[in-house]
Amino acid sequence: QVQLLESGGGLVQPGGSLRLSCAASGRAFSTYSIGWFRQAPGKEREFVAAITSNSYDRYYADSILGRFTVSRDNAKNAAYLQMNNLNTDDTAIYYCAAGDPTIATIEASMGYDYWGQGTQVTVSS
């Protein structure tokens, strides 16, 4: 089992950057894929990015492609989401999740078993 804790959210102006962190407890972190999801007010939770356990494969939603980068450091039991050129549509609560999804489910919430509590990202001038 693994517990996840996100940090790094906050208020940023359009065009700005933030780096989200996902700290994990538990020895199995390195065996899990990590996904990042977000939920904006009044909207359903949506996939943002994912990285496989060995960092060989990374997946991105079309809406953030080229602006966000997902990474991980298994030695530190941590994953990261670097977010650049933020815009108001990126305002949401961001969640990290851990699990063993298949290729078919790596971009879906159902592919993950463990979730953090979320961190708020607000993009506003």
pLDDT tens across 18-28, in order?
Answer: 999 999 998 78
pLDDT at 14 over 90: yes
One-character DSSP codes across 44-87: --EEEEEE-TTSS-EEE-GGGTTTEEEEEEGGGTEEEEEE-S--
Label the pairing between strands 119-123 and 10-12. Answer: parallel
pLDDT tens across 64-114, in order?
Answer: 999 999 999 999 999 999 999 999 999 999 999 999 999 999 999 999 999
What does the alpha-carbon distance between residue 86 and residue 81 come to, in Å, rounded to a whole number? 12
What does the alpha-carbon distance between residue 8 and residue 43 come to, in Å, rounded to a whole number? 22
